Amino acid sequence: MLLDIDHFKQLNDAHGHVAGDEALKAFAAVVVQHAVQLHPPGRGEPRQCLVGRYGGEEFGVLLSGTSLTQAVEMAERLSRSLQPGSGASAEIAALRGHTASLGVAAFDTRMQGHQEWLTQTDRALYEAKRAGRNRIRISAA
């Protein structure tokens, strides 16, 4: 999945780059927390999750050994945790009410390679943003 903090530039402009950096760290911590909940270390079948900053305020999450349904459920939990009044942790508070848009796609062995998966995931992310942000979109392909 690809995730983008909604209206991040406004956060930087209103509160400064130090606050923006703190918000990025807080967002990353929340994403990692949700990914680890989905894939606790040392339980059951081998699964791996990788969370990383993709660029700017975008993050990527790779969830091997995970179904599309499980990935979407994680995205939904993550999105709910960012909503104002969700009993937000200190990490969420650093985001100052900013939500996220998420694009989710499953890798299919019929794909040409990782670039095709990335293109589909990016397309889903931008569909979420065009639809009004603070949404999850799943790649149709």
How large is the average pLDDT for residues 86-111? 79
The whole-number pLDDT of residue 87 equals 57
Residue 46 pLDDT exceeds 90: no
Residue 1 pLDDT exceeds 80: yes
Please give the Cα distance from 126 to 120 (Å, whole number): 10
Looking at domain 2-99, does it have CATH number 3.30.565.10?
no
Q: What is the 3-state secondary structure (H, E, C) of the chain?
A: CEEEECCHHHHHHHHCHHHHHHHHHHHHHHHHHHHHHHCCCCCCCCCEEEEEEEECCEEEEEEECCCHHHHHHHHHHHHHHHCCCCCCCHHHHCCCCCCEEEEECCCCCCCCCHHHHHHHHHHHHHHHHHCCCCCEEECCC
> How many CA atoms within 13 Å lie on the side-chain side of 128?
29
Residue 101 pLDDT exceeds 90: yes
Q: What is the pTM of this model?
A: 0.86
The whole-number pLDDT of residue 43 equals 59
Least confident of 3-12, 33-42, 48-57: 33-42
Nearby residues of 38 by Cβ (< 8 Å), 6 or more positions away: 49, 63, 66, 70, 74
Higher pLDDT, 59 or 90: 59
* pLDDT tens-digit series, residues 114-123: 999 999 999 9
Please give the Cα distance from 23 to 1 (Å, whole number): 20
Residue 4 pLDDT exceeds 90: yes
